[in-house]
Structure 1
């Protein structure tokens, strides 16, 4: 093994470089202002997602600071802003319910290690193979689940038992004391109203922050009896390694795997969106982005935070605010750290129902009716994948939803490919013959077949059954030039055709084998099945002429 080359690859995918900060000398003011803008948007979301996940507001804020800074420094995107997200909250809620809040730091560290490993192994480019209906289906499902998770907070009512967000919301609605819940509901309505109206007055206003501040002021002046965030540490917690014993890690491995899959998927999708929004910034390096996100999760776990991913909404705010280097995302983390040290007294008085209002609006904005309508009208296959992914997200979890969506999409794509592929008989090309009877004889004894697209075993069986009914065929010319996909299974199917025909006494000639298919055909043994190595042709006329000589010899011997 070339260890020097391995070390170079690891360094390329894992280490910061000077080029990360190209243009910073002239654009640092814009980046710093963009970071401040993102921090204003991120503060209520970090607090809300921390509370909603069941770990607490402090953990959400710590994650936004620590993971946000580490991911910006080591990640592969110049624009990505990372932190706690709604999608991750959806995964964390059942983990907290099953293993307790103390398990989240362990899960973050384990998931971080898995994501770093994925980046070093070069798996970042696999996200390009996730179909659009799958992405949109789980995005819609995330929005619905986030909205359902806010029901207990919005009603200031203890959360009912259970892991599924829909069932918990229904049980909570059945147990609510509506007279006691009215103040909290009023604050939710106030927050939602401000977040909807303020952007119409001025799009530059930090609507979510102003809405939370307004609700907090109203709750204080009216002395409303509603649940608050409560005291949070005035400093970042000291780093520490949680319980990583074999017993703890084995019990949490499946949870860590789910978190790692989501962290990788959402981060790469978010970076992809950011790349499409800014043409003057280098594209994301997907493998390095995975390494950065993995390190961010390791750091978040060490500091007692929750798992983090790239955040699409905050990243979009960063791009629109003019951020062009990773300094913008770092600045956002520094500003939030300042809130930890200077603003804890105000943060402690924020009503939980106000954060629920922010997350309800966030969830509603994830529901894109136009996109859902477009996918539904695009065809039954896309609509089926979209609906299955959406349903699995709500009923099960995100990882199951993505796995199911990709699997169904793959099966449907395979079916479409099979429909576009197949074996087709063609008329015999014009050849010079001495008599009309000779032309009829050649047409009777020589069959030319063209294989299109990809070769499937179902086509093999149909083809052999068809030839079994044509008793007088003595030579079959298989045209292979139109085959676009020929893997091991397809080559084995081709070998079966050749072997079966020649057992019946039918000579097989192959025409137009592509150079890129030569190796798999030789390895599987297709060429070895031919009667003679000269039965492989590049020209159809030459193949037909050779077939003609076989027919003549057969007639002579008869």
Structure 2
């Protein structure tokens, strides 16, 4: 494939003369929505509110220019916060820039190596279970901020939430929870009254005004820089110890960004997305974000959906979103610094509750038992262990159930010889293999054939066999050799061309008594079997 396909081109902006008004409005709309989320995600990750803003600005613009989606909006996300928060707690904020660079390079390399389409191998129940688990963790992570208490020491979000509540002190807890309640009410009422109502921003403004007017004893964001910091290179001396955390961040960034891009392509009419270019763009976005003191970035499904509903048709909308946030930093940093942290926690709590719809949960749980189990396992492991382990365990569980289902769909069936019955036919057994003969189903066939008694010839029909792996071929080889040792002649009929290579290499053909015992036609195989029985009885 042409390397130029991974780079920006004029074609990216071909529709702008027709769509610029809608793109401009969408960019302004999603910028307003992104402001409180960027602040909240920055605080929740431990990197700070300014880091969340830098990520939304720098990564949002870079990913929009270099990414593979026409309408994807990128920046800090809840899933990344879940991964990043424990890393920041153990490694300190000084490691943030290096993790951004290392993770960005990994994602960039994945795009250059054309690994983007691997996202299609993640089953739907795994994705939804992963999303549900992330939503639960984000909600739990907001408990200390929402109650104005000290964060718990545990790396598990549920345990840390309980630990933080043990340090509660009044009246600070009461005032913090009041602000959270106001945010929740405004956001819920706003979305019912007008779907495009910027409820989170209005809620932040209202609670900030009340906190300042009444002098409430609640924590605020604090002083923010009135501009972007100068880019700096991190200290690479600790790169070796951060490769593991960076790999986890990179895996999540790639998965979430590609999922968001796929969703964006499905809900808009702006064309397909380029998965490999999207990885390149997200990798560059995280690198750029790290140089300016930001966090690793990913595609943001919710903000992308807001942008599309507001009229986005090209990547100009996402660029405008980043520029608007930059303008806010330049002229309104002093105002933003007075926003109560409890209000940001309320925004994220509502956001987490909206991450997965009840109808989606009902659909997964009501589909098949195996899909429901995969969904529940993935969600539980996400909350209790780790996001990356959750995806891996979810994939393993889904793979196990898929192989079991495939094995059940496979079969070994005994059937009658073609044509009119002849003397000696009772000493001939014909077996039809169908479906998939792989390691999950091969032993069943071996058990079935090993019970044969008073049989002189066995005909194995393989023309309806769809899948044959090395284990299946080895079982056929062992079965042929076992039957031949018992004096039973084995004839093989209808090996498909795609199975011939593995059959030859594993030894299916060489295990036959004679090379003439391989047939393409069942009638010829039956005639040979009958003649063999007749000669044996003569």
Tell me if structure 2 keeps the 8 A contact 1:158–1:172.
yes
What residue is the counterpart of 2:434 in the other structure?
Answer: 452
Distance 2:449 2:382 in 1: 49
SS in 1 for 2:434: strand
What per-residue deviation string (whole Å, max 9, x for no partner) do you get for residues 239-271 of structure 1?
A: 1111112xx122111111111111111111111
Give 1:66 shift.
0.8
Give 1:491 shift.
2.3
Q: 1:266 aligns with which of 256, 263, 267?
A: 256
Tell me if structure 1 keeps the 8 A contact 2:128–2:356.
no
SS in 2 for 1:484: strand
Matched, 1:314 2:297: no
Q: 1:363 aligns with which of 352, 362, 366?
A: 352
Unpaired runs of 5+ in structure 2?
none
Give 1:465 shift.
4.2
What residue is the counterpart of 1:493 in the other structure?
Answer: 475
Matched, 1:250 2:240: yes
SS in 1 for 2:459: strand
Give 1:340 shift.
1.4
What per-residue deviation string (whole Å, max 9, x for no partner) do you get for residues 19-56 of structure 1?
A: 22221121112111111111011010000000000010
What residue is the counterpart of 1:471 in the other structure?
Answer: 453
Tell me if structure 2 keeps the 8 A contact 1:118–1:124.
yes
Matched, 1:281 2:270: yes
CA distance 1:274–1:510, change in 2 (3 Å): same
Give 1:162 shift.
1.8
What residue is the counterpart of 2:501 in the other structure?
Answer: 519
Matched, 1:127 2:119: yes
Tell me if structure 2 keeps the 8 A contact 1:275–1:284.
yes
Distance 2:289 2:319 in 1: 15
Q: 2:139 aligns with which of 134, 147, 150?
A: 147
Distance 1:302 1:387 in 2: 39
Give 1:532 shift.
2.9
Aligned length: 538
Matched, 1:10 2:3: yes
Tell me if structure 2 keeps the 8 A contact 1:50–1:57.
yes
Unpaired runs of 5+ in structure 1?
1-7, 434-438
What residue is the counterpart of 1:296 in the other structure?
Answer: 285
SS in 2 for 1:509: strand
Give 1:545 shift.
1.2
CA distance 1:458–1:120, change in 2 (3 Å): closer
CA distance 1:225–1:462, change in 2 (3 Å): closer
More moved, 31-40 vs 475-484? 475-484
Distance 1:220 1:288 in 2: 46
Tell me if structure 2 keeps the 8 A contact 1:456–1:493.
no
What residue is the counterpart of 1:509 in the other structure?
Answer: 491
What residue is the counterpart of 1:531 in the other structure?
Answer: 513
Q: How does 1:213-232 map to 2 (within 5 A)?
A: 213-232=205-224
SS in 2 for 1:44: helix
TM-score (norm 2): 0.97
CA distance 1:319–1:422, change in 2 (3 Å): same
